Structure 1
Amino acid sequence: MSRRNWDGPRFVLLLYVLLVGVAGTAGFLTATFVDGLERPAYLFLVEFPATQLGFAAYGALTIATVLGIPLLLVVIVSQNIDDEARVE
């Protein structure tokens, strides 16, 4: 039986994908059970239809953006910061 390697980047990526999926599911379920919803606008620019698929896409894209931009900035800074203790 092999042991999975749960190093930091792989775990963070898995958690990111899981959270985006949960947001998409929440959007889908919201459109399923709530009546009279208006069309959501992603970043106030792109309007999605007020359907289950539209709300699922809106929820997933919104969370992907809100979590993805800071995560990308952390990756960029961590790769470019000077580390005196690092031996190369």
Structure 2
Amino acid sequence: MPQRGFRGRRFVLGLYLALVSVGGAAGYLTATFVDNLKPPAYLFLVEFPPTQLGFAAYGALTLATVLGVPLLLVVYVSQSIDDPDSVSPKN
């Protein structure tokens, strides 16, 4: 039966997207109200222009990475190790 409502994976995905959007909005607002900003570098490799769009992309991508990598690890572990007996050796 399909699950209705806003629980489980839907909730986590919605919260993830909301937080990434907040990061983008914070970057946009930072570039709007702060003068003389230096260009941000995503992962110290990709340099974005010091514009509103550049800071919005930087903020969203940074939060997506910082939150997404651990979230993917949790998903992987939860799908791989679901039985406590599968971790310990059999006697």
Could you say whether these structures have the same fold, taking a TM-score greater than 0.5 normalized by the shorter chain as the test? Answer: yes
Number of aligned pairs?
82
The amino acid that maps onto 1:17 is L
Deviation at 1:60, TM superposition (A): 0.1
Aligned residue number for residue 49 of structure 2: 49
Deviation at 1:82, TM superposition (A): 3.7
Residue 38 of structure 2 aligns to a residue whose secondary structure is coil
Quote the sequence identity (%).
74
Q: CA RMSD in A?
A: 1.3
Q: Aligned partners of 2:84, 2:37: CA distance in 1, in Å?
A: 54
Q: Aligned partners of 1:11, 1:72: CA distance in 2, in Å?
A: 15
Residue 50 of structure 1 aligns to a residue whose secondary structure is coil
Larger radius of gyration: 2
Q: Aligned partners of 2:84, 2:45: CA distance in 1, in Å?
A: 44
CA deviation profile, 1:18-39 (whole Å, cap 9, x unmatched): 0000000000000000000000
Is 2:43 the counterpart of 1:37?
Answer: no
The amino acid that maps onto 1:79 is Q
Q: Aligned partners of 2:28, 2:7: CA distance in 1, in Å?
A: 32
The amino acid that maps onto 2:6 is W
Q: Which runs of 5+ in 2 are unaligned?
A: 86-91
